[in-house]
Amino acid sequence: MRTLIALLLAILSSHTLASESQQPVRTVIIIGVDGLSPRGVDEGLTPSMNRIIGQGSFSFHARGVLPTSSSPNWASMIMGASPSQHGVTSNDWRLRSRSIMPSKEGAEGRFPSIFSELRRQRPNAKIAVVYDWGGFGELFDHSVVDVNANTEGPERTMLRAVEEFKYNRPDLLFVHIDHVDGAGHGTGWHTPKYFEAVKRADDRITEMIEAIDEARAWDSTVLIVTSDHGGVGKSHGGQSMDELEIPWIIAGAGIANGREINRDINTYDTACTAAYLLGLTQHPSWIGRPVTEAMISGPRAGWVDSAYLPAPRISPPGALMARDEVVVELSCEIPGADITYTLDGSEPTKHSAVYAQPILIRDTTTIRARAFMRGRESRVSSDTYRLLRSDAPRNVRFEYFEAPEGKPRWELLPDFRTLTPTRTGMCPEIGLATIEKREDQYAIRFTTQLRVDQAGTYMLHLKSDDGSRLKVGRRTIIDNDGSHGPIEESGSIDLSAGLHTIIVEYFEDHGGESLDLAITGPDKIRLPVSFDRFVAPE
């Protein structure tokens, strides 16, 4: 028995020593690409990010924090804590006009960051921060860093960052690149322009990798590439997985090759990981933990071996489209990879249809695709196309309104009773795809009858950016009002078989725009509410 206990203690002791044997590295570089989604890396043309995935460890299921806005997430990344601790809850946050005080105050009354902790524990450390969004500069105490460079554009930003690495070799170099988020807001996440922006970001990451190569510094440097949030449509700030999940990639000294981390990673773990790599003691108010599973000396659980193969890109991205047909193309960054796909929503295997030419879609279809090459297989890419054909019945009445010039902006749903519509008409569905509208500051009221075939309890789901409200008869079932990113609210109601009048009110403040209605019936199956469920209002 004593022998068994001694053996167990020896095993535990060796595991503890192994976990603590990571030696401090000379330089930690964190590159944060604003708005970069896991899908942007996985389906984009990203040879440099793919290189460090292969030479390091990664997760495509790391999470940011809510709200999925930039400032709360960048703050969480550098402060090792959530908004409820550090108090940064929106992009409007400013140190002198904050409403939530930090749970722990450091320099300038701010919550402790990786920058301030490195300065406190190692006063002679070199710290450089280079960024091209002014909002990032609001989040840290400039007096604790040696370089505070607010640049313009990804090329100038990375040029300055590479110069800092080459000539000053900081202990901690943080680089923020903003343009991918701009592409998402401009044309939409996962559109061709978005993927072009991702490629441009990857080219900039190439410049940093080449600088590390030239300095032969991989044995003393760790590079982390991550993001603050993803996006849906043309916006973020909502509560969807596409907005919440972020890529998290790490490579360099002491980092294991070819590991996919399957333990939970949160964005506030980034500060803790940097502190661990630099040999710092983690601040007691930080709630994150270092991602030691990525390290050679780390635990033997929480990761799996990975032979990474990028997922196929599906183009154009799926959406509700007012078109009779759409031509869909599949591609993979790795030449020679075979792509298989399905059109019925099932899981593609190597025995599924092999992609050889563009696919013509004429009905609502879900495409799922996977790449295969030399025993490796990618994740599944998936997109759904809902086509509103020109011959679809138009049983939804809409009234379109524009905010009056010279009046206060609409930040809530307007009082439709006081407004005169700019335009009225009939459309196939409750949504924005078929209605001509201006960019911002408009509202639409939809009225129709919903056909219910089976009596029972129904759950209605209304997702919008910005505000919306749904009524069945005179009863408000969902109130999703306010200026916000894509947020879904749901409400249940008992419905008899027959026709039920429904009214959906929607307004667009600024930025992204979206409106989607879905229903879950007594069979517990959730479906979009499509045109064949509507009957023209009386």
Q: What is the pLDDT of residues 519-532, one digit of tens each?
A: 999 998 888 898 88
| pLDDT score for 5 | 42
Per the CB < 8 A criterion, the answer to whether 29 and 173 are in contact is yes
Residue 3 inside a domain? The answer is no
Residue 170 inside a domain? The answer is yes
| pLDDT score for 1 | 46
The pTM assigned to this predicted structure is 0.80
* CATH code of the domain covering residue 137: 3.40.720.10
Are residues 400 and 382 both part of a single domain?
no
* CATH code of the domain covering residue 472: 2.60.120.1560
Q: Where are the beta strands (DSSP E) in 332-407?
A: 338-342, 353-354, 359-361, 365-373, 376-377, 381-387, 396-402
How far apart, in whole angstroms, are the C-alpha atoms of residue 330 and residue 195?
Answer: 14
Flag residues of the chain having pLDDT under 50: 1-21
Are residues 225 and 322 both part of a single domain?
no
For residue 215, the one-letter residue type is A
Residue 13 inside a domain? The answer is no
Are residues 180 and 85 both part of a single domain?
yes
| Number of other CB atoms surrounding residue 20 within 10 Å | 10
Are residues 297 and 403 both part of a single domain?
no
How far apart, in whole angstroms, are the C-alpha atoms of residue 241 and residue 245?
Answer: 6
Which of 283, 305, 327 is where one domain is finished? 305
Q: What is the pLDDT of residues 222-274, one digit of tens each?
A: 999 999 999 998 889 888 999 999 999 999 999 999 899 999 999 999 999 99
Are residues 212 and 283 both part of a single domain?
yes
Are residues 236 and 146 both part of a single domain?
yes
| pLDDT score for 58 | 96
Are residues 342 and 295 both part of a single domain?
no
Are residues 56 and 194 both part of a single domain?
yes
- Coil, helix or strand at residue 292: helix
Are residues 428 and 481 both part of a single domain?
yes
Read off the tokens for 298.
Answer: 């780390």
| Number of other CB atoms surrounding residue 15 within 10 Å | 12
| pLDDT score for 96 | 86
Q: How many domains does the chain have?
A: 3
Are residues 278 and 405 both part of a single domain?
no
* CATH code of the domain covering residue 328: 2.60.40
Looking only at the bridges linking them, the beta strands covering 127-131 and 172-177 are parallel
Which range of residues forms the domain containing residue 34? 21-95+103-305
Read off the tokens for 307.
Answer: 């032979």
Are residues 256 and 130 both part of a single domain?
yes
Are residues 457 and 381 both part of a single domain?
no
| pLDDT score for 269 | 98
Which of 359, 387, 415 is where one domain is finished? 387
Q: What is the pLDDT of residues 478-516, one digit of tens each?
A: 999 999 888 899 999 999 999 999 999 999 998 889 999
Residue 33 inside a domain? The answer is yes
Which of 363, 387, 411 is where one domain is finished? 387
| pLDDT score for 22 | 65
Residue 129 inside a domain? The answer is yes
The H or E element spanning position 508 is strand 498-508
Find the distance separating the first CA and the last CA of the chain, reported in whole Å: 84
| Number of other CB atoms surrounding residue 70 within 10 Å | 25
Q: What is the pLDDT of residues 176-235, one digit of tens each?
A: 999 999 999 998 999 999 999 999 999 999 999 999 999 999 999 999 999 999 999 888
Residue 377 inside a domain? The answer is yes
Residue 4 inside a domain? The answer is no
For 107, 122, 387, 467, 533, the CA distances from 390, given in Å and listed in that order, are: 62, 67, 9, 28, 17
User: What does 371-386 look like in DSSP terms, one character per residue?
Assistant: EEETTEE-PPEEEEEE
- Coil, helix or strand at residue 518: strand
Instruction: At 393, give phi and psi (nearest 5°).
Output: -65, 145
Residue 149 inside a domain? The answer is yes
Per the CB < 8 A criterion, the answer to whether 168 and 23 are in contact is no
